[in-house]
Amino acid sequence: MVSKDLLDMLRCPNCVQEKDGLLDYYRESWLICQDCGRKYPIVDDIPVMLIDEGDKWVDTAKEDLPVPPPAMD
């Protein structure tokens, strides 16, 4: 589980320069940007905050996100 302190600090790396980039914590497995909809997986309790990783899931409905997220290549 990701600590609340860390969750409070994290922002979407794509949006943070121009918008708030606030993230929703979803099913203890994903962080979803409220601005752009990118979805960042949490793998082994570590948020993977790479824009390329968020891009992979941007068109996936949050209800369809795999829990737990797949291992990274």
- Is residue 31 included in any domain, yes or no? yes
CATH code of residue 24? 2.20.25
Contacts 24+ apart (CB under 8 A), 31-34: 31/7, 32/62
Q: What is the pLDDT of residue 71?
A: 81
- Is residue 70 included in any domain, yes or no? no
* Residue range(s) defining the domain that contains residue 21: 4-64
Taking the model in full, what pTM does it have? 0.92
Q: How many structural domains compose the chain? A: 1
- Is residue 24 included in any domain, yes or no? yes
Q: Kindly state the helix (H) or strand (E) to which residue 24 belongs, with its residue range.
A: strand 23-26
- Is residue 13 included in any domain, yes or no? yes
Q: What is the average pLDDT value for the chain, to the nearest integer?
A: 94
- Is residue 37 included in any domain, yes or no? yes
In the chain, what percentage of residues exceed pLDDT 90?
A: 90
Reported as a single tens digit per residue, the pLDDT across 27-42 is 999 999 999 999 999 9
Residue 73 — very low, low, confident or very high, per pLDDT cuts 50/70/90?
A: low
Contact criterion met (CB below 8 Å) for 18 and 36:
no
